[in-house]
Amino acid sequence: MKSYLLSLLLLPILFGGVVRAQVVLSGPTIQLPKVRIVPHNEYPTYGEYVSLMERFADLYPDVCELEDWGTLPSGRRILTLRITKDIATTAGKPKVLCTAAMHGDELAGYWLMLQLAEDLLRHDRTRLLDDLEIYINPLANPDGAYHHNDRSLARSRRGNANGVDLNRNYPDPDDGAHPDGQTYQPETQIFMRAARSHGFDLALNVHGGAEVFNYPWDTYRNRHPDNVWWRRVSREFAQRAQIASGRANYFDDRQNGVTNGHDWYPIAGSRQDYMNYYHRCREATLEVSDVKRFPAGGLAELWTFVRTPIYGYLNEARNGLHGFVIDDLTGQPIAANVIIPDHDHQNSDVIADRETGDFHRYLTAGTYEVKFSAAGYLPQLRTVVIHDDRRVDMNVRLRRASPGGIEARRK
């Protein structure tokens, strides 16, 4: 680690700034720094972690910026990288959140998310940044991870500084506002605020202690309205992980690497259910390793196991139904409700962004009737055919309603 830090300090001195190399991939020429900044098979100290996050934003200002979501009473910060092409003009792109180490002793995801950020910034082979706005928060519980001191993860623990399990601390659609009997912790408040302000469409919460893709619900016995979509996505993730690892026994927990949360064991106050229910996001929980305090020496190999399936999941944000809802006369965006009658319930519908009017609805293959509605406007019905691994764009102009009854009209 010392040699890694020394290389960062000496690089500007020896070369007069960032050394870049021209590398031609498919599409236009892009520039890549010669030096990688994520340490190989080594967890950073907390101070090094902060420096890494700042360094990403400095190296790639056109596609990356560092967001400071909040400072904990300990002084440690919840940091998130916002990564997308043409970062100043991103209206209409699906917003995807990747986060890890919510449980401070589940460590592999911490390094994996740093590696994901660097991989996207250096390569982006599938051009995800053209179409998506990706947010990466590698360390959701820094007080738990660096429980003893900022230099070592050896005494990391599951809970935060107050010993609270953050994945039981969220409002629950079945068990109410405070299912664990605790006040909302500083970390919880920070993430709830970020969810409100950003409006994420797809999310992945990385944990450790098992090898399985966990999909909602955690709190309800009944299935999510988009259960067929969730089962396909989770099965594809598991299959990709098994193939990439080349091992017969990797990612085979529960139903061969897949589980519904409640079927595994019901919990209340999970962030997964909070995001899916209260924010109409599609968030899953990924358990990447049977070992919680994953040994640093195996991190690079573990990345080769999960890189392809993580990219496959991120790619799902491109698929499904996408579009804008605007006022027919003014062209202004409308925060319209986008619902599939006789299909959506338990907040599985989505709402168009009030500032830009864009919406993103992930669905399994089939034919759907979609209803667009907003207060003061005539509802509109549209029929759409969805194919797996395909994108359908649908832009909707809603007409203001005249006084009197309002009936849905088909266009």
pLDDT score of 268:
98
Cα-Cα-Cα-Cα dihedral sign, residues 393, 397, 403, 408: negative
pLDDT score of 296:
98
> Token digits for 275?
């995001």
In a domain, 29, yes or no: no
Cβ neighbors of 76 (< 8 A, separation 6 or more) are: 46, 142, 143, 146
* Average pLDDT of the residues in 267-274: 98
Band the pLDDT of 32: cuts 50, 70, 90: low
Statement to judge: residues 310 and 371 lie in one domain = no
Q: Write out pLDDT tens, residues 139-172.
A: 999 999 999 999 999 999 999 999 999 999 999 9
pLDDT score of 251:
98
Statement to judge: residues 279 and 390 lie in one domain = no
Q: Write out pLDDT tens, residues 289-328.
A: 999 999 999 999 999 999 999 999 999 999 999 999 999 9
Q: Write out pLDDT tens, residues 333-384.
A: 999 999 999 999 999 999 999 999 999 999 999 999 999 999 999 999 999 9
Domain end marker among 290, 318, 346: 318
Tally of domains within the chain: 2
Give the phi and the psi of residue 186 in degrees, each rounded to 5: -55, -40
For a pLDDT cut of 70, what percent of the chain falls above it? 90
For a pLDDT cut of 90, what percent of the chain falls above it? 88
pLDDT at residue 404 is higher than 60: no
In a domain, 305, yes or no: yes
* Average pLDDT of the residues in 75-91: 93
pLDDT score of 2:
38
Domain end marker among 269, 294, 318: 318
Domain end marker among 270, 286, 318: 318
In a domain, 313, yes or no: yes
Q: Please spell the DSSP secondary structure of 226-244, one letter per residue.
A: THHHHHHHHHHHHHHHHHH
pLDDT score of 31:
54
Statement to judge: residues 343 and 274 lie in one domain = no
Alpha-carbon gap, residue 233 to 236, rounded angstroms:
5
Single out the residue of 248, 208, 199 nearest to residue 352, CA to CA: 199
What is the domain extent for residue 131? Answer: 36-318
3-state secondary structure (DSSP) of residue 369: strand
* Average pLDDT of the residues in 13-35: 40
Statement to judge: residues 117 and 149 lie in one domain = yes
pLDDT at residue 136 is higher than 70: yes
Statement to judge: residues 101 and 182 lie in one domain = yes
CATH code, domain carrying 405: 2.60.40.1120
Q: Residues for the chain: how many in total?
A: 411
pLDDT score of 91:
78
Statement to judge: residues 249 and 357 lie in one domain = no
Tell me the residue ranges of DSSP E strands in 189-289.
202-207, 210-215, 258-260, 282-289
In a domain, 165, yes or no: yes
Statement to judge: residues 216 and 267 lie in one domain = yes
DSSP 193: H
pLDDT score of 35:
76
Active site residues per annotation: 287
pLDDT score of 409:
54
Statement to judge: residues 286 and 344 lie in one domain = no
CATH code, domain carrying 54: 3.40.630.10
Statement to judge: residues 122 and 236 lie in one domain = yes
pLDDT score of 82:
98
In a domain, 7, yes or no: no
Statement to judge: residues 229 and 291 lie in one domain = yes
Statement to judge: residues 300 and 333 lie in one domain = no
